[in-house]
């Protein structure tokens, strides 16, 4: 497909979509419609995404997972210093 520079200015996103779909898009210049630019998609390697449910059935959380944390551990997660422990007298 050929398009003039003026057409490219008004329809760039459509021309890019056609190029991404595999169509050859050539932009022409001037009244003679001299070929100037060819739009081609870049060969970019994309990282494969993790499929949803990849570890389904492989991880088991017991009911204790949903219980509240002990006060001391909760303070540590929040970045607060632990309360000093009292020493037992003998």
| pLDDT, position 69 | 87
Q: Quick one: pLDDT at residue 90?
A: 65
Q: Is the pLDDT of residue 89 over 80?
A: no
Q: Show the CA angle centred on residue 36, arms to residues 35 and 38, nearest 5°.
A: 90
Residue 89 structure tokens: 């007298």
What percent of the chain has pLDDT above 90?
43
d(CA 6, CA 30): 10
Give the per-residue pLDDT at 61: 87
Q: Is the pLDDT of residue 12 over 90?
A: yes
């Amino acid at each position: 497909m050929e398009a003039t520079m003026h057409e490219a200015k008004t329809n760039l996103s459509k021309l890019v979509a056609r190029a991404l779909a595999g169509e050859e898009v050539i932009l022409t210049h001037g009244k003679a419609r001299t070929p100037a630019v060819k739009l081609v998609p870049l060969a970019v390697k994309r990282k494969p995404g993790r499929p949803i449910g990849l570890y389904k059935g492989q991880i088991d959380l017991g009911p204790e997972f949903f219980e509240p944390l002990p006060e001391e551990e909760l303070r540590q997660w929040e970045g607060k210093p632990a309360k000093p422990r009292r020493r037992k007298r003998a």
